[in-house]
């Protein structure tokens, strides 16, 4: 398919804009659920689905406004959540995994958020992804009922597209400045071969020492690189396992604290 050809996916991506102002119209829960189901088809290592969605409507937005005020130390509730009739909170819900590190799971949740915003826009709704320094504060997390293994990525503000209001437009992306090649691939065959082999000793002293010890088998630098890579992966799995263990311990401690408070 040519880059200039018309295609539903290309057309949707190219037409997407952020709408800072929307009307009071909003998709129904049934419509939202359909789009969330489709957005969940993003690439997901081990199919962990490390994310969840919280929809905020009506007074839910006022609860968020109060939480934002508490996080910022303000006396009056924030009116920011009232800028759209529907707020879709995107939550990274991390799962214990030896294969999939925490950062990769957050990337999956971010992918779901962007895909959902694209689908909402294509369906005719005005959308903008909002965050803020208070996004991951304790009062805001508490208002959303987040667990110890969860973090809030932000909200999709969703509403109707005003007929007269123009959405924000981004400048065209300068693709060549963001796309490059691997250094080893762009090197000449001779340079690449030189990188694969250890340079021979050039000094007479080193050459004499080498002759005295006899010829040795050349070092296989590719094998050494593979070994180092396996070692790094093993360390990453160990770190991921430790993180999962810590999350489990934290969740258990929170549950014990909650139980103690209930008994008290």
Q: Which residue has the tokens 């992306």?
A: 173
Please tell me the predicted confidence (pLDDT) of residue 120. Answer: 96
Please tell me the predicted confidence (pLDDT) of residue 113. Answer: 97
For residue 152, count other CB atoms closer than 10 A to its CB.
21
Going from the C-alpha of 72 to that of each of 81, 146, 147, 219, the distances in angstroms are 15, 19, 22, 60
Strand 125-130, strand 86-93: pairing: unpaired
As to burial, measured by CB atoms within 10 angstroms (0-12 exposed, 13-18 middle, 19+ buried), residue 26 is: buried
132: Cβ contacts below 8 Å, ≥ 6 apart: 68, 80, 154
**pTM for this model (two decimals):** 0.67
- Are 53 and 88 a contacting pair, CB within 8 Å? yes
Angle separating helix axes 102-122 and 29-39, nearest 10 degrees = 130
How does pLDDT run along the chain (264 residues), one tens digit per residue?
555 667 888 888 888 889 999 999 999 999 999 999 999 999 999 999 999 999 999 999 999 999 999 999 999 999 999 999 999 999 999 999 999 999 999 999 999 999 999 999 999 999 999 999 999 999 999 999 999 999 999 999 999 999 866 666 678 889 999 998 888 665 566 655 655 555 554 555 555 565 555 555 555 666 776 777 778 778 778 877 777 787 777 777 777 766 666 665
- How far apart are the C-alpha atoms of 209 and 215, rounded to whole Å? 11
Radius of gyration of the chain (CA): 27
Residues in the chain: 264
Please tell me the predicted confidence (pLDDT) of residue 98. Answer: 93
Please tell me the predicted confidence (pLDDT) of residue 50. Answer: 96
């Amino acid at each position: 398919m040519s880059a200039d050809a018309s295609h539903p996916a290309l057309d949707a991506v190219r037409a997407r804009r952020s709408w800072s102002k929307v009307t009071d119209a909003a998709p129904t829960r049934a419509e939202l659920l359909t789009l969330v189901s489709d957005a969940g088809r993003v690439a997901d290592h081990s199919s962990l689905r490390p994310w969840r969605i919280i929809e905020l409507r009506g007074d839910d937005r006022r609860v968020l406004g109060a939480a934002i005020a508490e996080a910022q130390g303000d006396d009056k509730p924030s009116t920011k959540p009232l800028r759209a009739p529907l707020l879709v909170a995107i939550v990274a819900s991390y799962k214990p995994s030896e294969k999939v590190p925490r950062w990769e799971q957050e990337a999956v949740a971010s992918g779901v958020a962007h895909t959902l915003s694209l689908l909402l826009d294509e369906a005719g709704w005005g959308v903008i992804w909002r965050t803020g320094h208070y996004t991951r504060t304790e009062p805001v997390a508490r208002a959303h009922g987040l667990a110890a293994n969860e973090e809030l990525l932000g909200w999709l503000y969703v509403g109707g597209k005003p007929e007269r209001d123009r959405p924000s437009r981004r400048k065209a992306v300068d693709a060549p400045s963001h796309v490059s090649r691997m250094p080893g691939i762009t090197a000449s065959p001779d340079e690449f071969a030189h990188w694969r082999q250890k340079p021979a000793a050039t000094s007479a002293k080193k050459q004499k020492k080498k002759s005295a010890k006899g010829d040795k088998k050349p070092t296989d630098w590719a094998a050494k690189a593979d070994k180092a890579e396996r070692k790094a992966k093993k360390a990453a799995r160990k770190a991921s396992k430790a993180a999962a263990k810590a999350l489990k311990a934290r969740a258990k401690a929170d549950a014990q604290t909650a139980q103690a408070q209930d008994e008290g």
